[in-house]
Structure 1
């Protein structure tokens, strides 16, 4: 794998400046998840195996790292407004099955300093902590596991309140979502052995008090899928009898009332860009909401829908089956789009509007010197900040013999000065 200095030396006229980050820490020869990507100040921070690392956005240099006693098994999508997060790690240092995900560790992402630590020790079967989902809402941490959810104060880890089940336990919490100071909780309502009679719920709670603010119920026979946006609330739902292919996008108003549901399948879009990743309800990769647009991406296409009406506005397809992702909405109805690398060429970022293909502007060509590593990161985590694109994989194998190139830890591009 080249160094950032070698990448700069190989840069051709018109190509973006780039840095590439390596991490020589040994990780097991298995599929190791690369967790949520956090942008805090002038750093990009992420957890892999037992290590949480911050890289400087300007040049990819490692600013700090924290090595934990066991592997990280869950992270929230967002930190607190002042840059703190709680990572969940395994109970034991081994990689054997049955290793519970029940150790909580607070970390200040600005400095790398560790804060409070405690065990997720709420009542119930401890095996319920094999899989945990978490979210941060302002200064409140929520954790869902085993048909229950609970919240904690971020400052000291003290417990705040439990998220209740409903209908005598038939409607139980399955996922949590945060961001800003909002807490959304998804639930499955298993009222019958017949899946066509079950349904899903989405509830918003006051994170600090636990007061229920509103409740939205899906149609009978449908369940909550994944959250696309917290504000406005936009999410996917799926048909209980065809969970793989039959899905829709739903938009709620500020009071949790139904605004519109629409079907994006007729334009060829797949659920969360065809991501076959984990069961966290946040984020829905390949989908986002910005400036009144619901932006959907995926293999070979990207498009925009109106968030008020669900009306399709415009879209574009790639000619060579590249993954396309909308990074953000620009003035008017335009979008800044990332076109991922393929096995032959590097990717690029460009600005495009309703006029479609052939009208790209502000094209940023990614360097050929990093194309092989960029290709390894397709369908990965992305962040766009101050004109800089940051990419990582979602998994790293730890077995270099099975990869055509040594896996990069992180990769970033910015427009040429």
Structure 2
């Protein structure tokens, strides 16, 4: 429903583009001047990539390319689609490989425009369908997924976790999760933190050493009415704990020692909240749906004590958390808020789109997590909404889509302290697929090591032409060399 509403709004706004064609043409000229003038385009953050252990969750700092002119570096189609949808819940990139979890396999595609853009570097067959994915990758290019075992396909149980090297496609280890008979695609959540893979499914949880696959700790519902619903990883490990039943549910957030599972602090969420998400573990940010099914507020916590710092109203904003997102509650939703990006000392939130033709399509606001106040704002352009992708040092990487064939889409860096904008890539997505690929409700949008990727989370065939291929993912890189 959310995806359909978004597409309808974009179609309505696109009709206004005809009346504003002159403005659009001028906008292209302005965009070219913007890069070559030595103004915004020459400003960039001097932040350096942090030194990280191989098993730490990756934090990449980007540098602008020599030229922002984009060219395709990956383009992969799916053929022979089933009668219903084919889900592709995971997308990850390294400097060499773009990897996708599609159905019951993970594939790696080489990132190199000199060769066949449609080639496959490796393919890893899984025992069953993917049930949950982590949004994170380690500094040395590993990630984890939860899958169905071959004997559980009919029951739908999701009780196997595995770690894969994304550069090579090698399965490093695979384990059966203990007491996971009630782990399903609808309730299983997965997160990575330094050296640890943590999985929760509402009636239990388990953590493994990411290098060896050794089980570190696990919990079950046998002796408690409170249970781990999901985790958020990264620099720390947060658990969302649910107590009670569906009619009378209480939530709390716990910071855990990743190696032992011991609780370092607890924060109790106010009663009456309908749902809770964890868009960031460090700094800790809690997204709550208070009296509504959509997120109404962000709550920031002190990372040392768990005490509440600030409450930020989401009125007028679109955090796009969890079950409200396409394709619904599948594949792990606790830590996924596509309209929220959290940096070390800023929270970036995407606004709702405007219906005003001559005004910016939307904007991104930077909030101070300690005070909860808005400190900077990045505006989109008419017919060009903006999406926060991730942080790069203290800057924000932004995807600016386009709703017409004149203005190019762009990936830019934004420094919220100086309000300077640095261009990374200018490009057009394929016309027939652009609206869906650039929509975070339907597709993963990534930027990693100079490349932008747009990947559908679900694909379905055209009934009129069932054998036609469907574009699964496209990658864009610079036509010039990076510094």
Tell me what 2:17 maps to. Answer: none
Tell me what 1:233 maps to. Answer: 284
Query: TM-score, structure 2 length as denominator?
Result: 0.70
Return the match for 2:435 from 352, 356, 375: 375
Higher relative contact order (CA 8 A, sep 6+): 2
2: CA distance between counterparts of 1:105 and 1:362?
37
Residues 1:155 and 2:208 are matched in the alignment: no
8 Å contact from structure 1 (residues 86, 104) kept in 2 = yes
8 Å contact from structure 2 (residues 110, 121) kept in 1 = yes
Tell me what 1:176 maps to. Answer: 231
2: CA distance between counterparts of 1:102 and 1:94?
9
Tell me what 2:297 maps to. Answer: 248
What is the 5 A alignment of 1:109-148?
A: 109-120=166-177, 122-123=178-179, 126-129=181-184, 131=186, 132-148=188-204
Tell me what 1:6 maps to. Answer: none
The farther-off stretch of 206-215 and 62-71 is: 62-71
Q: Which runs of 5+ in 1 are unaligned?
A: 1-12
Deviations 1:176-205 (A, max 9, x none): 12224x221101222794x4xx43111111
Tell me what 2:259 maps to. Answer: 208
Return the match for 1:42 from 84, 87, 96: 96
Tell me what 2:347 maps to. Answer: 294
1:18 counterpart SS class: strand
1:62 counterpart SS class: coil
Deviation at 1:392, TM superposition (A): 0.8
Deviations 1:374-401 (A, max 9, x none): 3331222122123321111121225574
Tell me what 1:412 maps to. Answer: 475
Tell me what 2:423 maps to. Answer: 362
Change (3 A) 1:311 1:399: same
Deviations 1:20-72 (A, max 9, x none): 42244644332232223222342222211122112233435532221224222
What is the 5 A alignment of 1:267-282?
A: 267-272=316-321, 275-276=325-326, 277-278=328-329, 279-282=332-335
Change (3 A) 1:66 1:191: closer
2: CA distance between counterparts of 1:82 and 1:225?
31
2: CA distance between counterparts of 1:176 and 1:41?
27
Deviation at 1:327, TM superposition (A): 3.0
2: CA distance between counterparts of 1:86 and 1:77?
9
1: CA distance between counterparts of 2:192 and 2:463?
35
2: CA distance between counterparts of 1:387 and 1:363?
7
1: CA distance between counterparts of 2:251 and 2:465?
41
1: CA distance between counterparts of 2:396 and 2:175?
43
2: CA distance between counterparts of 1:319 and 1:403?
37
Change (3 A) 1:141 1:247: same
Change (3 A) 1:405 1:364: farther
Deviation at 1:362, TM superposition (A): 3.1
1: CA distance between counterparts of 2:396 and 2:246?
44
Instruction: Count matched residues.
Output: 390
Tell me what 1:9 maps to. Answer: none
Deviation at 1:135, TM superposition (A): 1.6
Tell me what 1:4 maps to. Answer: none
Tell me what 1:106 maps to. Answer: 163
Residues 1:337 and 2:398 are matched in the alignment: yes
Deviations 1:44-102 (A, max 9, x none): 22211122112233435532221224222222222344333332222348976x32222
Return the match for 2:128 from 59, 70, 73: 70
8 Å contact from structure 1 (residues 136, 178) kept in 2 = yes
Alignment RMSD (CA, Å): 3.5
The farther-off stretch of 105-114 and 79-88 is: 79-88
1: CA distance between counterparts of 2:239 and 2:279?
14
Q: Which runs of 5+ in 2 are unaligned?
A: 1-31, 33-67, 354-360
Return the match for 1:397 from 446, 460, 472: 460
Change (3 A) 1:127 1:227: closer
Query: TM-score, structure 1 length as denominator?
Result: 0.80
Deviations 1:255-310 (A, max 9, x none): 12211111021x34354396344352122112102253211226442322222322
